[in-house]
Amino acid sequence: MKKQNSSRGIKRYWFLPNLFQARSIFFLMIIFLLGVTFSIYADPVDVREAIVKVYTVNNSPDYYNPWSMRGPQGVSGSGCIIEHNLILTNAHVVSDHTFLQVRKYGDTERYQAQVIAVSHLTDLALLKVEDPTFFAGEPALSFGELPETQQEVLVYGFPMGGDMLSITKGIISRIEHQPYVHSSSSFLAGQIDAAINPGNSGGPVLVDGKIVGVVMQGISSSQNIGYMVPVPVIRHFFDDLQDGNYDGYPSLGVSLQDMENPGLRKYYQMEEGQSGVLINQIIPGSPADGNLQTGDILLSIGDYSIGNDGTIEFRTNERTQLTYVIQQKQIGENIRMEILREGKKISLDLNLFRSLKKDQLVPMEEYETLPSYYIYGGLILCPLTKNLLDIWGAQWYQSAPKELIYPLLNSNIPEREGQQVVVLLKALAAKVNQGYQNVNSWVVDKVNGEKIWNLRELIEKVENSLDPYIVLEDKWGQQIVVDRVEAENTEQEILQTYRIPFDRSEDLRK
């Protein structure tokens, strides 16, 4: 069981550990060109026969020693059989996996499985089993519609406390945006009060025998507060896969501020009865760049008016974040909006050509990806990521160095495309770095007096320099000076001493 705090640092969530992604593009093309049916009518089936237990072995990277892995560990989760001989589960049940098996309800045999598609942003994954006998005679669950609040639901899965199938009953308490722990991103989520526990993750939430959501996380400090990935988010996942590739979610590329203060609204020439949110930052290279301006008021988006608190009414008397409208779109689609600029209304159509992941200075959780690193003079340098912050544990926002946390608290928006926060993680003790061996988590701003914007730029400046010394400098002017010739002459010796195969990660060797 894993605990982690939400982005607000208030709630504590649990979810199963992370496992690995496999790809089968040809298989996806066949399946999703046929289409996964979201049918509201289907013949009655014994739901229990469609529930499976997922057994995984994962192996995640060690971000404190970025050339190493943490070692394999085994966990389990739940899933369900859907059309076209597919199994739907959570991404966090299968991310970073090295071996994967599934077992049907009432059966004793485990079958080897593969991941064919995964959305880490929305914590969803699809599995396939090569052995055709696995699906023989088994029913496939169909999909229903987004349930109403107070509607009764059943949760199926294999939680801790036993090995047999568990079925719990509850109601939909509310539907609104919540942070998904697996990606630290906010999406539409359904809160349910049915008893769920570690191991339930990936199991279906059903109404009248049809899937309305997938269990993903719960709040450990509360009683019976759990969350599901609702069917509109699942539908977006399948629609995205129609071409055989998963692209993710689009980004508008702005930072927004609520306008609940009357003085703020008057200052920006808003009329009585108008509502909206203030655009206070534009992300370089985003769809908003060159189309929207700081100081614009976003009044409406799609068919929805925006409240001064940044919400829209997605169903009668039910409100959620305005990003709901953007998250209904696929990358490459257009979105209509109305803005107020210097007191004048303007209508715009923007193409959402850019992925949400590209608009973050500090990348959030990453999976199936090895960390980037570069070693020079025994100094280990790497980009700042949420995965790196996790080495400080579940309470990283309290225990990690404040300099590393600051970019996340300060909207996490880059000044330019491709920008990274480059961190001197630690030093591998050697003569060349004597006196720097207690330096750690130190943010590098300049190399030999020149500003660097990412790790590749740092490497380029270091390796193209003919100066006798390499000077690393932080934004306060503190310096680390390395003898260039000595660093080059002792490079292989340091790597051999610490049994490190390469001085840089594979992505930087290409």
- For 318-375, what is each residue's pLDDT tens digit? 999 999 999 999 999 999 999 999 999 999 999 999 998 889 999 999 999 999 999 9
* Whether residue 182 lies in the annotated active site: no
d(CA 22, CA 199): 22
- 213 or 35: whose pLDDT is higher? 213
Asked if the model's pLDDT at residue 19 lies above 70, the reply is: no
Q: Quote the pLDDT of residue 501.
A: 97
Distance CA 104, CA 93 (A): 16
The pLDDT assigned to 302 comes to 96
Higher confidence at residue 34 or residue 232? 232
* Record: fold of 2-243: Thrombin, subunit H (2.40.10)
The residue from 96, 123, 240, 296 that is catalytic is 123
355 contacts 426 by C-beta, under 8 angstroms: no
Which of 192, 186, 213 has its CA nearest to residue 202?
A: 213
Residue 219: pLDDT over 90: no
Q: Is position 123 annotated as part of the catalytic site?
A: yes
Angle at 105 between CA 137 and CA 1, to 5 degrees: 145
Check residue 7 and give its pLDDT: 34
- Quick count: other Cβ atoms within 10 Å of Cβ 50? 23
Q: Do strands 344-351 and 334-341 pair parallel, antiparallel, or not at all (unpaired)? A: antiparallel
Residue 74 near residue 56, CB atoms below 8 Å: yes
State how far the Cα of 377 lies from the Cα of 396, in Å rounded to an integer: 29
Q: What fold characterizes domain 360-509?
A: N-terminal domain of MutM-like DNA repair proteins (3.20.190)
Residue of 92, 97, 120, 182 marked catalytic? 92
Per-residue pLDDT for 179 more than 50?
yes
Domain ranges of the chain: 2-243, 254-354, 360-509
Mean pLDDT for the stretch of residues 122-127 = 98
pTM across the whole model: 0.89
What percent of the chain stands above pLDDT 90? 84
Question: What top-level class would CATH report for the domain 254-354?
Answer: mainly beta
Region 401-418 average pLDDT: 90
Q: Quote the pLDDT of residue 196.
A: 83
Q: Look over the chain and give the mean of its residue pLDDT values, rounded to a whole number.
A: 91
Q: What is the pLDDT of residue 162?
A: 87
What's the Cα-to-Cα distance from 396 to each of 208, 345, 388, 493, rounded to whole Å? Answer: 42, 44, 10, 34
Question: What are 416-453's pLDDT values in tens digits?
Answer: 989 999 999 999 999 999 999 999 999 999 999 999 99
- Averaged over 276-297, what is the pLDDT? 96
Which position among 60, 201, 286, 505 bears the catalytic label?
201
Separation CA 326–CA 332 (nearest Å):
12
- In DSSP terms, 424 is beta-bridged to 381, 442
Over residues 57-72, the mean pLDDT reads 97
C-beta pairs of 66-75 under 8 Å, 24+ apart in sequence: 66/370, 66/371, 66/372, 66/373, 66/380, 66/382, 66/425, 66/505, 67/373, 67/500, 67/501, 67/502, 67/505, 72/98, 73/17, 75/16, 75/17, 75/19
Residue 410's pLDDT band (cuts 50, 70, 90): confident
Instruction: Examine the residue annotation and report whether 97 is marked as an active-site residue of this protein.
Output: no
% of the chain beyond a pLDDT of 70: 91
How far apart (Å, rounded) are the C-alpha atoms in residues 475 and 54?
A: 48
For residue 1, the model assigns a pLDDT of 37
